[in-house]
């Protein structure tokens, strides 16, 4: 072997870039970051287009008026609750009566032989309590609306319209485009 013709062994050149598992981890991390960023940006855009319906309070300050309740401000709902309580309305007693009604209804439905008269009586009591609550709510709503300025009523109408639009959209999505009188599709056969 001629020393002039042999080449000395060379060390491999250092590799630049990421190696196998590091490259996969980097790509996965970037992908997750983009997914999170997309979710956040999408949520912000969707919230600006259509904010979520107002949350009804729970606990001691809870007072609902069905679809109209979301159009009232928290302060309005609290003022209406306080007005009802000043008149002697006991919301805890009303909730307790509802629980008792459902216990009575369950017992009448389970009775053997079937207790049709017991069911009828419970349903009549439930109807009477519901009508009483509706009357209370109607008076409170009318009183509160009468105390509003024209600008406050205009904002109330706008919130009510947005709430009804959300409700209509929700019902349309739930009904999959069926009309109000259309029967739901039959359940799938197993």
The string of pLDDT tens digits covering residues 18-53 is 666 666 766 666 566 555 565 555 555 554 554 444
Instruction: Supply the range of the domain harboring residue 120.
Output: 63-170
State percent of the chain over pLDDT 70: 58
**Per the domain annotation, does 133 fall within a domain?**
yes
End-to-end distance of the chain based on CA atoms, in angstroms?
Answer: 84
- Is the pLDDT score of 99 beyond 90? yes
**Per the domain annotation, does 35 fall within a domain?**
no
Domain total of the chain: 1
**Per the domain annotation, does 6 fall within a domain?**
no
In degrees, rounded to 5, the angle at the alpha carbon of residue 149 between the alpha carbons of residues 146 and 155 is 100
pTM above 0.85, yes or no: no
**Per the domain annotation, does 13 fall within a domain?**
no
Phi/psi of residue 58, nearest 5 degrees: -115, 160
Tell me what pLDDT residue 60 has: 45
Q: Cβ distance 47 to 132 under 8 Å?
A: no
Tell me what pLDDT residue 153 has: 94
Tell me what pLDDT residue 169 has: 85
**Per the domain annotation, does 113 fall within a domain?**
yes
**Per the domain annotation, does 37 fall within a domain?**
no
**Per the domain annotation, does 77 fall within a domain?**
yes
**Per the domain annotation, does 152 fall within a domain?**
yes
């Amino acid at each position: 072997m001629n020393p002039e013709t042999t080449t000395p062994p060379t060390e491999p050149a250092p590799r630049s870039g990421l190696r196998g598992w590091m490259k996969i981890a980097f790509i996965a991390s970037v992908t997750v970051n983009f997914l999170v960023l997309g979710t956040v940006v999408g949520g912000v855009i969707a919230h600006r287009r259509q904010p979520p319906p107002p949350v009804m309070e729970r606990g001691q300050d809870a007072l609902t008026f069905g679809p109209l309740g979301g159009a009232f401000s928290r302060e309005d709902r609290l003022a209406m609750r306080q007005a009802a309580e000043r008149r002697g309305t006991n919301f805890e007693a009303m909730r307790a009566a509802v629980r008792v009604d459902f216990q009575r209804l369950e017992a009448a439905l389970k009775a053997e032989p079937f207790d049709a008269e017991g069911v009828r009586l419970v349903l009549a009591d439930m109807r009477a309590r519901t009508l009483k609550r509706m009357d209370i709510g109607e008076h409170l709503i009318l009183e509160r609306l009468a105390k509003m300025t024209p600008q406050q009523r205009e904002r109330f109408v706008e919130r009510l319209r947005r709430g009804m639009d959300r409700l209509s959209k929700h019902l349309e999505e739930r009904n999959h485009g069926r009309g109000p009188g259309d029967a739901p599709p039959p359940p799938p056969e197993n």
